[in-house]
Chain A
């Protein structure tokens, strides 16, 4: 599915949260949405998911607005994983994942075979099959995040928009989730993901969209987005570039402002704040 945002902007409480942004997501791949806190990433995600009507501009899905394509149809074709994964009732893990099949089902009741298959696949992919009978309210933060991701995967949509899916996870599960999202992208799905870890964003994403202060500053291949200048301007950090296993990686290293920019790349210590 092709998602087109044309000049979308959002205001709230007399403040502009999102300056007019235009972007098109029309090919399979893993798209990273990055930027410092308060950059407008989550707002843009909600606008793209059709959950927040923009104050100006419009979002079109295969050329149709939300109202034209229908919220129920969009519910089958676009899955959204919210940042605050609140669960209001202590449902069993399996039942939480099954909620992802709601758009495909006319009435409540026992799941059909195709639903069962999608639910099982989503639980396998996120390695939560063993937790299936646990009340989701008794899980750890990381386990719960994976359950909610499985819920979004169970929709089996063309497009997955995930708002900070790895923020609460340990390194093992961060890599696991990104491998999984990368797999989805390789299998022809479009995945847009909000990330804070620049090293992982650089490594995994096919395309990065850099936001800052409600503005979109760059939208390009990771190498072209995470330049020294962009990192300095938006994140106020300096990042080292290292070659590992024949590929370039970036490692955010020091805050700028605490050291002069020209001095930043000289800081070789592992704990820069301890330097004399």
Chain B
């Protein structure tokens, strides 16, 4: 009975892949434009754009280039990174509950940013926090690779990721604990909640090349992820090098997620929920899901970031808080469904 219900649900939605990619792409483009228009300063977007093109230094042009454009671009980039990484990691681990946090890189990036904050690097340089985050992510990745190169299997790799993540979490808590000033603690805690506010084009330029490396590696792994649907042995018999795939996805995730956390702080649930919601629409194929989920991540992140600015709360809600509040009920419904299917 239950399997009958599940079968109908699974069969119900199977949208042609190009259509799905086109629709999600168009939706993220629209939200990107909306993100440029929505803000605290009332502003005529058409006039601002024509000012930019004409090279006039109007207030509108300044707000557009210095504030809104970086914010919208980062929403797109961070969202894509979270969604695509989540899908690839779920495919690699063949587990719908995996999220970008499992490899520990996001925790390490947060720790790096916190250390940058306390060391004063952040006060000294506008992108100091981001640089600290990248350093943390880089160290964690090196550690993971060292383990992976010794031939550790997927389980060992993930356990190391979890260990790195919890160590980074403990050290972050230690830094907060030893903080000399409560204001500093508050500032760090707020940063850790994740936000795209007050970022500059420097942040975009810092993250873009690193994320691009991650995206290229992730999107190129689709065929192998499909092959992995029938287990590692079958994937290898189909000609895929599973160990290289593992390395590739860990490195790609580290690039994409490390730089996302470094510029935007920790934005949870996007990487977990988006692949899960979109999976039935690609017929549960892990390969095509990577691009679709990346676009879906961009849609969700941009939408949440617009919501944050539209809601009349003060201070502005943090993006990570909003995604978690939207995401947690999804997770509950997912667990509810899984529980029912296991009965």
Contacts and interface: CB of A to CB of B under 8 A. Distances in A.
Interface string A59-86: 0000000000001111110111010111
A89 B229 contact: yes
Of B4, B231, B233, B287, most buried by chain A (CB within 10 Å of CB) is B233
Contacts of B227: 99, 102
A102 B3 contact: no
B231 to A, nearest CB: 5
B11 interface: yes
A134 B287 CA distance: 20
Nearest to A151: B230
B238 A88 contact: no
A119 B108 CA distance: 46
Interface stretch (B56-64, B183-191, B278-286): B278-286
Contacts of A105: 223
A92 B282 CA distance: 11
A100 B227 CA distance: 9
Contacts of B228: 88
B234 interface: yes
Nearest to B284: A89
B234 A80 contact: yes
Interface residues of A, number: 40
Given A102-B227, A135-B11, A138-B7, A91 B234 contact: no
B288 A78 contact: no
B6 A138 contact: yes
Contacts of A71: 236, 239-241
A90 B230 contact: no
A87 interface: yes
A95 interface: yes
A178 interface: no
Interface in B130-162: none
B223 A102 contact: yes
Chain B's interface size range is: 20 to 34
A133 interface: yes
Given A102-B238, A138-B6, A80 B233 contact: yes
A107 interface: yes
A213 interface: no
Interface string A134-158: 1101100000000010010001000
B10 A49 contact: no
B222 interface: yes
Contacts, number: 99
Of B6, B234, B287, most buried by chain A (CB within 10 Å of CB) is B234
Nearest to B95: A88
Main secondary structure of the interface of A (DSSP, over half): mixed
Of A92, A100, A108, A138, most buried by chain B (CB within 10 Å of CB) is A108
Nearest to B231: A86
A135 B284 CA distance: 10
A99 B226 CA distance: 7
Contacts of B94: 88-89
Contacts of A85: 230
A257 B11 CA distance: 54
A103 interface: yes
A51 interface: yes
A108 B223 contact: yes
A85 B234 CA distance: 9
B230 A148 contact: yes
A134 B7 contact: yes
Contacts of A100: 238
B284 A90 contact: yes
B283 A46 contact: no
B238 A95 contact: no
A95 B10 CA distance: 13
Given A108-B287, A134-B7, A103 B229 contact: no
A29 B10 CA distance: 41
Interface of A: 46, 49-51, 71-76, 78-80, 82, 84-92, 95-96, 99-100, 102-103, 105, 107-108, 133-135, 137-138, 148, 151, 155
Interface of B: 3-4, 6-7, 10-11, 14, 94, 222-223, 226-231, 233-234, 236-241, 279, 283-288
